[in-house]
Structures are given as C-alpha cells and as structure tokens.
C-alpha cells in the first residue's frame, strides 16, 4: 500500500491537517496497521516537496500550530493514475504459512491443524466485529475473512496431499 497515495486520496476530498489524515486513515483502512504521526508528517513533507500537495493554511488557535494541506493539480493527476493502475498479482509465494509447511514437509500436519484452529478463531472474531462495525470495518473484515477462507482451503488441500503421500 502506498501511504502517499492514500493521503492524496483523502486530501482530494478537502484540505486537511495531519492529525485528521491519521484519524481518517486508521478509520477508513480499519484492518491496516495504524499510521504513526511521524509517518503522516514525513509523507506530507515528501508530497509537498514533490509538488503533489501544498500548505493551504497555517492556524494557531490556543494550541500548537496546525498546518492544513491541500492536493495540487499534479497531486490529482498522480492520484488518478494510481487509482487506475491495476495491482499485479504477487509473482511469488511469500507466506509464512507456506514457508513453515514447506520446511516441515511431512511433519507439518500438526502445525496445519493448529493453524486451522487459529484461523477459525480469527474468523469468528471478524464475523462478530462485522455485526457492529462501520462500513469501513465491515469491508476490512470481509477482506480478511476471504483471505483466511482461502488459507483454510489450502490447509485442507495440504493435509489431504500429505495423507496421500504417506499412504503411497
């Protein structure tokens, strides 16, 4: 995920302070790792340096100075290009789940059974979260559930193949 592009997308709606951008990121990308404030401000500085965002206003109302950032025309063009670029599928299998099974070989069945239970427990948690979540949280939970479901199907396939191999 490109933090710069995500922040540009939020700025495309209206000018915002770094604090607002962090809150919006953490709310709208509910399943993603929360952004650190330092990362928000470092990204904003790079966007400003590259001409993709600009300082719209600086305010000081009884507290620390707050800088309001706005997207530039170049920033809108960059955002539009990013939004229209198809994300390529990963060319390599880079899952810790796959790596453990590949290394363990025929002895991976115990691990796979424990992993299946962990996935099922997480799926129950996500399903419960969906019941009371905001739309962004529901979308994040749906995304995670679909990935966990794909992992579960792979786990079942791996267990079946290992059983076939041990019977052969």
Residue 60's pLDDT is 79
Q: Are residues 7 and 55 in the same domain?
A: yes
Q: Are residues 23 and 66 in the same domain?
A: yes
Q: Are residues 68 and 31 in the same domain?
A: yes
Prediction pTM value: 0.71
DSSP annotation of 53 reads E
Q: Are residues 73 and 102 in the same domain?
A: no
Q: Are residues 138 and 114 in the same domain?
A: yes
Q: Are residues 44 and 113 in the same domain?
A: no
* CA–CA dist 36, 16 (Å, integer): 17
Q: Are residues 72 and 101 in the same domain?
A: no
**Least confident span in 4-13, 39-48, 60-69, 79-88:** 60-69
Strand, helix or coil for residue 166? helix
Pairing of strands 53-59, 66-71: antiparallel
Does 79 score more than 70 pLDDT? yes
Q: Across residues 68-82, what is the average pLDDT?
A: 96
Domain range for 42 is 3-83
**Of 32, 58, 83, which residue constitutes the final position of a domain?**
83
Average pLDDT value over all residues in the chain: 89
Domain count, the chain: 2
Q: Across residues 38-50, what is the average pLDDT?
A: 96
**Of 61, 83, 105, which residue constitutes the final position of a domain?**
83
Q: Is residue 15 a part of any domain in this protein?
A: yes
Residue 168's pLDDT is 63
């Amino acid at each position: 995920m490109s933090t710069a592009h995500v922040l540009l997308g939020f700025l495309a709606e209206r000018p915002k302070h770094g604090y607002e951008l962090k809150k919006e990121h953490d709310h709208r990308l509910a399943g993603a790792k929360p952004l650190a404030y330092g990362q928000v401000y470092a990204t904003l500085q790079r966007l400003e340096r590259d001409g993709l965002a600009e300082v719209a206003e600086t305010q000081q109302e009884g507290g620390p100075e707050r800088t309001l950032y706005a997207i530039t025309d170049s920033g809108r063009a960059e955002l539009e290009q990013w939004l229209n670029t198809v994300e390529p599928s990963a060319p390599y299998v880079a899952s810790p789940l796959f790596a453990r099974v590949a290394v363990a070989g025929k002895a991976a069945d115990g691990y796979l059974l424990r992993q299946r239970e962990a996935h099922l427990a997480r799926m129950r948690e996500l399903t419960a979260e969906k019941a009371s979540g905001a739309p962004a949280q529901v979308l994040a939970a749906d995304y995670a559930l679909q990935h966990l479901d794909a992992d579960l199907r792979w786990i079942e396939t791996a267990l079946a193949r290992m059983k076939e191999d041990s019977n052969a």
